[in-house]
């Protein structure tokens, strides 16, 4: 490589760095749209709204939540992938859009590891097996007995990859035969259990606590590897079926090739927000434990989660759609 080319490449690299720094100094100077892959009322939606308020206060610009449910989050993911790499269209994602769908769908319109820029980790959540209050089971053993007495008769609604795999994994480990019905979001699946159209579902912890308090649904057990301190009376499924551990998580990503200075500015704002007691309290109220991650750590985490969900989907005998 001759000296002229070396100097030219160095100059281009320097100009790119300066441009990125200049963009970051004024970013954001207009409204930022955070695309959410699930409907209003879902855990992803509620967490996005908490963080949108915090980022707006920190960065001085409006952050709007735009719900684009469908295809397990892939519709929202594809929209963000196509957006300009300027930081004004972001994906507030659960594990579905950037990890689980790789295993659950035969094809998705993007490569999560190549087509997104990781920005920040947000938090982690568990799900809760819930039935209508009139359902004749008050614990997991009784639920399994009821299901085995009616093979192929009990129906379960799922509104995310986490709830879908939870149903299938419980079927396998407990030897159950239940019918799974897809919804565009967990709140829609909850509505049908309350209405008696379906028999059970897996609900994100925040909504589960609200439903249990309201008396509409009864909690049977949680999907994490141990009980949650917010509801220590709710056992973990793993206590009866070792190896059962299915959790959801949330993160912010953007289109590929976002300027690093913009990424760092957003990550810094998220990290500061997650350190604030009021933010942590609001997230805890919807069942979410903070999970701050740097962009580089989030990239590593996404890669490990893709491998984890491929294993989980295989263990649960879920056939890709």
- Residue 88: other Cβ atoms inside 10 A: 18
Assigned token pair, 140: 């997991």
Between CA 226 and CA 242 the distance in angstroms is: 11
For a pLDDT cut of 70, what percent of the chain falls above it? 93
What structural domains and CATH numbers belong to the chain? 3-125+248-315 (3.40.190.150), 126-239 (3.40.190.10)
- pLDDT, one tens digit per residue, over 195-206 is 999 999 999 999
- pLDDT, one tens digit per residue, over 106-126 is 999 999 999 999 999 999 999
Between CA 119 and CA 211 the distance in angstroms is: 33
- Residue 76: other Cβ atoms inside 10 A: 26
Given a contact cutoff of 8 angstroms between Cβ atoms, the answer to whether 112 and 100 are in contact is no
Assigned token pair, 293: 């991650």
Query: 295-315 and 161-174 are packed helices; what angle lies between their axes, rounded to 10 degrees?
Result: 40
Question: Long-range contacts: 57-60, Cβ < 8 Å, 24+?
Answer: 58/269, 58/272, 58/273, 59/28, 59/265, 59/269, 60/28
This prediction's pTM: 0.87
Instruction: Name residue 204's beta-bridge partners.
Output: 127
What is the pairing mode between strands 200-204 and 63-67? unpaired
Beta strands in 113-262 (DSSP E): 116-132, 155-158, 179-182, 200-204, 217-222, 247-255
For a pLDDT cut of 90, what percent of the chain falls above it? 88
| 231-267 exposure pattern, b = at least 16 Cβ within 10 A, e = fewer | beebbbbbebbeebbbbbbbbbbbbeebbebbbbbbb
- pLDDT, one tens digit per residue, over 217-269 is 999 999 999 999 999 999 999 999 999 999 999 999 999 999 999 999 999 99
């Amino acid at each position: 490589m001759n000296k002229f080319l070396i100097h030219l490449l160095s100059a281009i690299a320097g100009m790119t760095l300066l441009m990125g720094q200049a963009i970051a100094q004024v970013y954001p100077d207009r409204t930022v749209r955070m695309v959410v892959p699930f409907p209003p009322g879902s855990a992803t939606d509620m967490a996005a709204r908490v963080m949108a308020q915090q980022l707006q206060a920190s960065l001085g610009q409006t952050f709007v939540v735009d719900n684009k449910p469908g295809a397990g989050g892939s519709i929202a993911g594809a929209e963000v992938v196509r957006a300009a790499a300027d930081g004004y269209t972001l994906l507030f994602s659960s594990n579905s859009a950037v990890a689980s769908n790789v295993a659950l769908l035969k094809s998705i319109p993007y490569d999560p590891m190549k087509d997104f820029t990781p920005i920040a980790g947000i938090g982690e959540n568990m799900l809760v097996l819930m039935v209508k209050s009139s359902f004749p089971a008050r614990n997991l053993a009784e639920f399994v007995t009821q299901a085995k007495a009616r093979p192929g008769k009990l129906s379960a609604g799922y509104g995310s990859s986490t709830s879908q795999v939870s149903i299938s994994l419980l079927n396998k480990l407990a030897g159950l035969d239940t019918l799974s019905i897809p919804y565009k979001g967990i709140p829609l699946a909850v509505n049908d259990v309350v209405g008696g159209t379906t028999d059970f579902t897996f609900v994100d912890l925040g909504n589960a606590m609200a439903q249990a308090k309201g008396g509409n649904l009864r909690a049977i057990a949680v999907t994490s590897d141990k009980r949650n301190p917010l509801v220590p009376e709710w056992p973990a499924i793993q206590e009866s079926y070792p190896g059962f551990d299915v959790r959801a998580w949330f993160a912010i990503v953007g289109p590929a090739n976002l300027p690093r200075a913009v990424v760092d500015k957003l990550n810094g704002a998220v990290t500061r927000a997650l350190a604030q007691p009021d933010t942590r309290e609001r997230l805890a109220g919807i069942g979410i434990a903070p999970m701050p991650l740097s962009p580089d750590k989030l990239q590593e985490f996404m890669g490990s989660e893709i491998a984890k969900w491929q294993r989980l989907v295989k263990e649960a005998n879920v056939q890709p759609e």
